[in-house]
Chains A and B, each alone.
Chain A
Amino acid sequence: MGYFLRAANPANGLIADSSRDSAPCSIAATGLGLAAYAVGAERGFLSRGDAAARTLAALRFLSDSPQGEEEDATGHRGFYYHFLDMQTGRRVWQCELSMIDTAILIAGVLTTGCYFTAEGNDEREIRECARFLYERVDWPWATAGGSVLRMGWKPGAGFLSYGWEGYSEAMLLYILALGSPTHPLPPDRYGAWTRTYQWENLYGIDVLFAAPLFIHQLSHIWIDFRGIQDAFMREKSCDYFENSRRATQIQQQYAMRNPRSFAGYDEHCWGITAGLGPGFTPRQYEHGLERQYHGYVARGVPFGPDDGTLAPWAAAASMPFAPEIVAPTLRHVRDRHPHAISANGLLTSFNPGFKNNGGGAGGGGDGAIRGWLSPEHQGVDQGPVALMLENHRSGLLWRLMRGCPAIVAGLRRAGFRKGWLGSASR
C-alpha cells in the first residue's frame, strides 16, 4: 500500500515501475495502484476523498493523453505503452504497446468505477472516465486478424509476432476483451486460447500447468474464480481458484525436493516466479554444485530457470488460495530472513545462497559475500501482495468486481457458469 502512495506522481496519477530512482511509470503498476487506492480507502490508510483525488488524477490523464500512431504517444486504440515518462506520460524506452499491461491497467480502472459509487462530482467523474477508458479499448484489433491476442505492437513496426498462448496471466486480458460492450473479442477466441492448455499430474497433483507462480495469481486479484467453471474446468471438475491452490502446493513440493540444493529452500521457504535476480554471472561451481545466476527472468518450477532466487511476495500473494501453507511461510521468512522485509514492511526478492564473485549485481565484490537482496521494490510485486491479502481478509476486490458488468459479461462469454455467476447464459 505504502509503495503506491510513495511511487505516484500526484499531478498525473502515474505510478513508478519500481522504487529505483528515475524509474519510469509502468501502466501495470498504475492499474494495481488504482485498485490499491480503493483498498486503502476502505481500510483507512487514506481518506476516501484523497483516494478519489488520486484516482481522478490518473483517470483524467489516461483519458486526455495522446493516443495514436506517433512514436511518443501515450497509447493507441485505447491500449497503452508499457512504460511512460513519469512527468510527461509519453512512451519511453521505445517500449511496446502492451496488451497484458493494458488489461491490468483497465482492471484497476474498472475497480475504481465499481468502488466510487457515491454521488458527488468527483466520484461521478471517476465512473464516467472508467467506462470511457474501458469502452475505448479496441480489443479485436490486437489479434491482428489471427486467432489469439498479440502481446504487443510498436509504431511503424506493427504487431510483435508473439501471441498469448498457453495458460497464463492473460486470462484477465481475455475476459476483459470478451466483455467489452463496444469492441468485444469474438467468443471463439477464448476457445483458441484454452486449446493450448496442458492438464498435468505433477508431484501427484492435477493442475493446469504454468511454471511461474504469479501466473496463477494475477487474474485472481480481480476475478473471483471460486466455484465458477468454463468448459475446460468443467471437463476437469476443477476451477481456477482451486487450480491456483494446487499450483501453490506444487511450489512448496518443489522447494521441499529442492533438486538443485539451493540455500534456504524448504517447506516454509519458496516462491519462485518471474522477477529480478542477482544479475547474470558465468557458470561457476560451489562445493560441487553448478551455479549460474540471472537478472530479470521468468523463473518457474519445476523446470526452471531457477537460480536460488526466492520471491516471498509471490508466496504472500497466494494467501487466499492456500493460507495453511502461505502463513507459516511468511512467518518463517520474517524469522529466518528478516532482511527480505524492508523497513516499511515490504517483501522483496532475495537469494540466500548467492555468492558474489565479482559478477552480477548486488552484494559486494570481495569474492565471498553471501546472499543477494533485491535493491528495489516493484509495483508489480507489491500490488499483488496488498490486493490478494485484502481478498483473503475481506474479499473486497472480488465483491466489487462480481458487480462489474465487464467482468460478468466477459466470464459469461468465455463460457463460465455456476457459482456466483449462476447458470443463465446471455
Chain B
Amino acid sequence: MTAAEANDSGSRPAMPVTPGYDVALAANVRPPGWTNPKPASNYHLVIIGAGPAGLVAAAGAAALGARVALVERNLLGGDCLNVGCVPSKALLRSARFYADLDQAPTFTGGAPMGSDADFPAVMERMRRLRAHLSRHDSAERFQSLGVDVFIGEAAFAGPRLIQVAGAGLPFSKAVIATGARPSRPDIAGLDECGYLTNETVFNLTERPRRLLVIGGGPLGCEMAQAFARLGCSVTIANKERYFLPDEERDAAEILANALRRDGIEVRHNTVVTGVSREGMEKRVRLVNDHQESTVVVDEILAGVGRVPNVAGLNLEAAGIAYDQKRGVLVDDHLRTSNRRVYAVGDVALERKFTHMAEATARMVIQNALFMGRKRLSSLTIPWCTYTDPEIAHVGLYVQDGRKGGHPLKTFTIPMSDVDRAVLDGEDEGFVKIHVREGTDTILGATIVARHAGEMINEISLAMVAGIGLKTISQVIHSYPTQAEAIRKAADAYQRTRVSPFLAWLSRRWLAWSR
C-alpha cells in the first residue's frame, strides 16, 4: 500500500489492512464475528479502552475476583501494540541492523558491506512480530480470564451507567482508559496534501524516497532515524532549538549529531508554514528564524504531540470534569470528579508512556476496589527515547532541582570510559547521576547509551529502594558490562568522600605499618 492509501484510512484506522500477519493480529485483537456477552446486572469495574492501561486493570481486577467489563471500540492492545511502541520498536531494530551493516568496517576492519534495506520485508517482519505479541492482548485470552469483553464505542449514560452497542453496563466503579491520539498540526495545505501519523505510517509497504518528519520529540526522532537507516532521505523539522526539549542539552546534542551522522537533515528552530502538491511531490515551506526555505518530499510524517481521547464519552452525563488538552482531570489518587470513576494512562497523564499506563492501572485496582490510597506523586517514573543512542531519564532534572533550591551535583561517566562499551563499538554517550550535594541520595539520572533503556532500570530500582551511590559502589557488577558505568559513577562519588584528612591518616598508617 502507498502512503496515499494509508492516509485514506483516516485518523483512526479500523484495522491494519495488509493481508497475512494482519489477519492473525485481527483474530486476536478484533476477532471477526465477535459477539458481545450479555451484560451482568452490575459490575465491580467497567473499563473503557483496552490499551495497556485497560488491559492491566482488567486482568488485575479479574484475578482478584472482581466482576469486570472491558470495552474497546477499535483494537485490543491500544496504541502500544497496534500503532505505537510495538511496531515502532520492531522497525527500529531492523534499522539498527542496517546501521550496523553500514559500520561493518569498524567491526571487520575490512570494506563496507553496503546493503540497501529491503523495506517491504522489514515492514513484514514488524507485522509478524506484532501479530505474535498480540496473543497476550487477545479478546479470547481476556474472556478466559473472566473478563466480559465488549467491542463497541462506550459512553456514559449516567453517573453509574455506561452504554455500549445498545447494552447498558451498570457499575460500582469505572475506569476511563481511552488513551490519546496524534494532534493534527495546523498547517496550511497539509490536510489536502495528505500526511502520515503513527496511526498510518506502519501501514506503509513501499518506502517513500524522501520523507519530512515534523516534530523533534521522541516519536519524530525515532521515526526519522529509522526511516533514514532504512534508506529514505529524511529531513526533520523541529520547532525547538533542541530535540527532546525536556532532556539535558548534552543528550539532545548527542542525538542531533547522531541523526546527522545517519544522513538526516536536521532543521532545528524551524516551523512548517505550508504544504502544496505538485504531481506526486509535496512542496513544504519552512521558516527558520524568519528565513524561508522549501523542501520537496514524497511523504510527510507528523509527530507533534498527542491529545487525550475525551470526545464522545459523554463525560458530562457522569459529572466528570475534563479539559481538551489535559484530558480527564484526576486527583493524586487518579479519581475523577465522579467519586466512582477513575482515569488512567494517556487520557489523564502528562507522561504518556505504556509503563505509566500500566503502573497507574495497577494503582487504580487498589484505589477503586480495595480502598487503597496509592498516590500518583509517589511514583518514580523512568522513560526512554529509543533512538540510537537511546536517551533515558528518571527523576529530577538539574534545572528543576536548582529551581527547587536543592544544590545538586552530577557524577558523569562518559561511555568511552566503560570497557564493554568500547569493545562493543557503542561508546557514545554518558551516564549522569544527580545527587543532593553533600549526600549520596540519588535525585535523578540521565543515560545516553545504546542500551540506556536497560541501564536506567538500575537507577530506578535504587531510587525506589532508597539505595544511594555508596551502596551502589559496593555492588559487584559483572565485568565487562555497560551497566558498569553506573558503578563507576558511584565510585567517583566514593572518591569525593576521601577527605584530605583521611588521605593523610591512611598515608601515615601505611608508613608506620611498613
Instruction: Give A contacts to B, CB under 8 Å.
Output: 154, 156-158, 160-162, 166, 195-204, 206, 209, 211, 235-236, 257, 259-260, 283, 285, 287-290, 292, 302-305
Contacts and interface: CB of A to CB of B under 8 A. Distances in A.
A202 to B, nearest CB: 5
8 contacts: A154-B290, A157-B290, A198-B248, A201-B496, A283-B102, A285-B105, A303-B250, A304-B257
Contact of B106 (A199, A257, A289, A292): A289
A259 B495 contact: no
A286 to B, nearest CB: 9
B399 A201 contact: no
Given A161-B289, A162-B241, A304 B399 contact: no
B3 interface: no
Given A235-B437, A288-B105, A305-B257, A198 B269 contact: no
Contact of B409 (A195, A199, A257, A287): A199
A333 B409 CA distance: 36
A292 B398 CA distance: 32
B109 interface: yes
A156 B437 CA distance: 46
Contact of B410 (A200, A235, A257): A200
B257 A288 contact: no
A182 to B, nearest CB: 29
Contacts of B289: 154, 157, 160-161
A201 B412 contact: yes
Contacts of A235: 407, 437
B103 interface: yes
Is chain A's binding surface mostly helix, strand, loop or mixed?
Answer: loop
A410 to B, nearest CB: 22
Contacts of A158: 290
Contacts of A157: 289-290
Given A285-B105, A303-B253, A305-B257, A201 B409 contact: yes
Contact of A166 (B103, B249, B427, B496): B249
B112 A285 contact: yes
A259 B427 contact: yes
Given A289-B106, A290-B103, A198 B253 contact: no
Nearest to A283: B261
Nearest to A297: B257
Interface in B399-439: 399, 402-403, 407-412, 414, 416-417, 422, 427, 429-430, 432, 437
B492 interface: yes
B296 interface: no
B241 A199 contact: no
B254 interface: yes
A198 B414 contact: no
Contacts of A304: 254, 257
Contacts of B409: 199-201, 206
A305 B260 CA distance: 11
Nearest to B432: A200
B269 A162 contact: yes
B489 to A, nearest CB: 8
B417 A257 contact: yes
A157 B402 CA distance: 34
Given A200-B411, A201-B412, A303-B254, 6 more contacts: A199-B408, A201-B492, A285-B106, A292-B261, A302-B416, A302-B430
Contacts of A305: 257
A76 to B, nearest CB: 16
B31 to A, nearest CB: 48
A196 B402 CA distance: 8
Nearest to A301: B414
A201 B411 contact: yes
A288 B407 CA distance: 44
B106 A161 contact: no
A198 B492 CA distance: 17
Closest 3 CB pairs of A and B: A157-B290, A259-B416, A285-B105
B347 to A, nearest CB: 32
A161 B402 contact: no
Contacts of A259: 414, 416-417, 422, 427
A201 B399 CA distance: 17
A202 B411 CA distance: 7
A62 to B, nearest CB: 26
B410 A302 contact: no
Contacts of A166: 249
Contact of A161 (B269, B399, B493): B269
A281 to B, nearest CB: 12
A288 B241 contact: no
Contacts of A285: 105-106, 112
Interface string B99-110: 000110111110
A304 B399 CA distance: 22
A206 B102 CA distance: 38
Contacts of A160: 289
Contacts of A287: 109
A236 B261 CA distance: 37
A156 B291 CA distance: 11
A288 B253 CA distance: 25
A199 B410 contact: yes
Contacts of A201: 409-412, 492-493, 496
B414 A303 contact: yes
A154 B403 CA distance: 32
Nearest to A280: B260
Contacts of A203: 417
A391 to B, nearest CB: 30
Contacts of A161: 241, 269, 289
A247 B248 CA distance: 20
Nearest to A302: B414
B403 A195 contact: yes
Nearest to B290: A157
B495 A204 contact: yes
Interface in B172-187: none
Given A157-B290, A259-B427, A304-B257, A204 B492 contact: yes
Interface in B215-259: 241, 248-250, 253-254, 257
Contacts of A200: 409-412, 432
Interface in B246-288: 248-250, 253-254, 257, 261, 269
A236 B407 CA distance: 9
Contacts of A303: 250, 253-254, 414, 429-430
A158 B287 CA distance: 14
Interface string B331-360: 000000000000000000000000000000
Nearest to B398: A198
Contacts of B257: 304-305
Contacts of B412: 200-202, 209
Nearest to A286: B105
B402 A195 contact: yes
A291 B269 CA distance: 28
A368 B345 CA distance: 58
Contacts of A292: 261
Given A154-B290, A156-B290, A161-B289, A196 B399 contact: yes
A235 B402 CA distance: 12
- Of B107, B109, B269, B414, most A-chain CB atoms within 10 Å: B414
- Of A157, A201, A235, most B-chain CB atoms within 10 Å: A201
B512 to A, nearest CB: 28
A198 B432 CA distance: 11
Contacts of A289: 106
Contacts of A199: 408-410, 437
B254 to A, nearest CB: 6
B290 A197 contact: no
Contacts of A196: 399, 402
Nearest to B414: A302
Contacts of A162: 241, 269
Contacts of A195: 399, 402-403
Nearest to B448: A303
A156 B292 CA distance: 14
